[in-house]
Amino acid sequence: MTTTGEQWKQIESDYYMQVVNRMPMVLDHAEGTCVYDTDGKRYLDFTAGWAVLNIGHSHPAVTKAIQEQAGKIMQMSNLFYTIPQLKLAQILIDNSVMDRVFFCNSGAEANEGVCKLARKYGKIKKNGANEIITANNSFHGRTMGMMAATGQAHYQDNWRPLAPGFVNVDYDDIDAIKAATNDKTCAVMLEPVQGEGGVNVPAPDYFKQVRAWCDENDLLLILDEVQTGMGRTGTLWAYEQEGIEPDIMSVAKALASGLPIGAMLAKEEVASHLVPGDHGTTFGANPVTCAAGVATLREILDNGVLAAGRRASERFVGRLRSMEDRFENVTEVRGRGMILAINLDAEVSADVVAQCREKGLLVNNVRPDAIRFMPPLTVSDDEIDRACDILEEVLSGL
């Protein structure tokens, strides 16, 4: 007997910790930009598994790599050499300004690692300096440490006391970073574009100013590229568009097209402060996950995905801007590449998301008055047009 969607929802309600208000449908399968529920209804997924499926759902090259690797060797301790992690390390280092990488399992875990690295640097090079400046409206994950790094009361208030050593200041405000810097500061950690905070793009010279301040004060610049990385903003890494190089960066989400992975990357002069025993993980750098990562990066780098994503973004932004011109309730279009948002003139984004979903489009109410779009970079022109038609229908009925 087949379990129905309604029965699955009852099981969730009876057994699962109730930490999320789920969407009403039970998903069954997916392909490219589309997901299908247990009733066979198709949705255009402009959330891409939360900025994870940059080359679409179940990409054939990734699926093949996973299947082949799963039958070969699936897991060993990092005490042993395994090949997929070394291939993935090579591709990442060859295609970034970083010198060394360490793989883990998620964005939050990558950020825990980068903060440990910054503290070790502070301990050895800066007389024990251990404070990290982060931004208000940031999002760095939900571990005990990253709740303190994440400058949003909503993620902090129920779990005080927060881990010490993090100072939250306003984003896109160099003077706020300067004012927060003291003898104990070892690093500044920022997202190139704030994703969960509402798709906030800083002023064009902000990162150059932050880089200069970090250089003058021997502070490490950590970029959290968990959401912006892997082509989401139009270049493989968002820092490329800022004309700066970070000292450390974290990556996760799209790196293995849906298998759980995170990575911290650093320049040699920073990475060299970690020694055997300082850090580790059981599952991180798992051969299957890393084989998926290799297939993902090869697809992005070898098959024109970045250029395709930029072209798709142009088309999408063009349609969103025409909505801004024609609909009074659209007050702003913002973002970069395929991390985009529209601002609305009222707090109706939950309603817009629900109506879009009914019509077969999945988007995110990133703020009460803002809708975020993060489709695969491989989204087709037809899919963009269909999504925009749905959105226009909903906006005109508000």
Ligand X SMILES: Cc1ncc(COP(=O)(O)O)c(C=O)c1O
Q: List residues near ligand X by CB under 6 A.
A: 106-108, 111, 139-141, 191, 195-196, 224, 226-227, 252
Q: How far apart are CB 345 and ligand X at their closest, in Å?
A: 26
Residue nearer to ligand X on the CB measure, 363 or 388: 363
**Integer Cα distance of 5 and 26 in angstroms:** 6
Q: How far apart are CB 139 and ligand X at their closest, in Å?
A: 5
Sequence-distant (6+) residues with CB within 8 A of 365 are 349, 350, 352, 353, 371, 372
Residue nearer to ligand X on the CB measure, 139 or 207: 139
Residue nearer to ligand X on the CB measure, 226 or 274: 226
**Integer Cα distance of 161 and 154 in angstroms:** 14
Residue nearer to ligand X on the CB measure, 106 or 185: 106
DSSP H helices, the chain, are 5-15, 48-51, 60-70, 83-94, 107-125, 144-149, 153-156, 174-180, 206-216, 268-271, 287-302, 305-326, 349-358, 381-396
**Integer Cα distance of 353 and 387 in angstroms:** 12
Residue nearer to ligand X on the CB measure, 119 or 140: 140
Q: Output b/e per residue, 134-143; b: 16+ Cβ within 10 A.
A: bbbbbbbbeb
Q: How far apart are CB 84 and ligand X at their closest, in Å?
A: 20
Residue nearest to ligand X (CB): 107
Q: How far apart are CB 179 and ligand X at their closest, in Å?
A: 24
- The DSSP call for residue 255 is G
Between the alpha carbon of residue 210 and those of residues 10, 134, 358, the distances in Å are 50, 12, 44
Residue nearer to ligand X on the CB measure, 32 or 195: 195
Q: How far apart are CB 191 and ligand X at their closest, in Å?
A: 5
- What is the token pair recorded at 308? 């395709």
Q: How far apart are CB 133 and ligand X at their closest, in Å?
A: 16
Residue nearer to ligand X on the CB measure, 130 or 227: 227
Q: Which helix (H) or strand (E) holds 222?
A: strand 220-224
Q: How far apart are CB 222 and ligand X at their closest, in Å?
A: 11
Residue nearer to ligand X on the CB measure, 108 or 312: 108
Residue labelled with tokens 């996973």? 66
Q: Rounded to the nearest 10 degrees, what angle do helices 349-358 and 381-396 cross at?
A: 120
332 phi and psi angles, rounded to 5 deg: -160, 145
Residue nearer to ligand X on the CB measure, 73 or 201: 201
Neighbours of 215 (CB within 10 A): 12
Q: How far apart are CB 105 and ligand X at their closest, in Å?
A: 8
Q: How far apart are CB 262 and ligand X at their closest, in Å?
A: 6
